[in-house]
Amino acid sequence: MAAAVADDCYNELTMSINVSDGEEGQQLLKDLLCERGLKVIEVYAEWAGRCNSVIPLLKRLKLEKDYTQDCMVVLHCKAESHELLEEYRGRSMPHFIFYRNGAKKAVVEGANMPAIEKHVQAHTPNAPDADDLEENPMLIKRKEEKAAEAQRLQDELNAAAGK
């Protein structure tokens, strides 16, 4: 059965992205968490599939609140495919993890629609620029990792050149 929306593409109707497996999907997940706004990660087991009961809630919120992709997006991810979600493997599924500006704000276990709606409304910014990226812990970590990798490569080059 083919997916209704291609992996790694934004679905405007449900304000969501099916994050693909593999390195590309892991990179996309990390990149999205380095951005402003609310990211709701639906973590599900591969054997169980996505939580379809959340779709009507997302459609209703889209109609009522008209959230933009810069303010709120849901990321559907298999627990087995993303190292960031390793702690959710083998646990009761699904889990909904709420990140605002790269910081974890809440976790909802199971398809508890009232709790999911409460956290979406509580943590979604009013405007895309409401968050300060300089305070985003995921972005800070990403910058530190890139700087460490650049230093490691420079050290290797220097060692190869005999310096």
H-state helical runs in 34-87: 54-65
What is the side-by-side order of every strand in the sheet holding 103-109?
A: 10-11, 16-18, 72-78, 38-44, 95-100, 103-109
For residue 94, the domain's CATH number is 3.40.30.10
Q: What are phi and psi of 91, to 5 degrees?
A: -95, 170
pTM of the model: 0.85
Q: How many domains does the chain have?
A: 1
The Cα–Cα gap between 13 and 39 comes to 16
Measure the CA angle with vertex 117, ends 113 and 118; round to 5°: 115
Residue 70 lies in a domain: yes
- Contacts for 86 with CB less than 8 Å, ≥ 6 apart: 79
Query: What pLDDT sits at residue 2?
Result: 35
Residue 1 lies in a domain: no
84-138 per-position pLDDT tens digit: 898 988 876 799 999 999 999 999 999 999 999 999 999 999 888 899 999 999 9
Query: What pLDDT sits at residue 163?
Result: 61
Residue 60 lies in a domain: yes
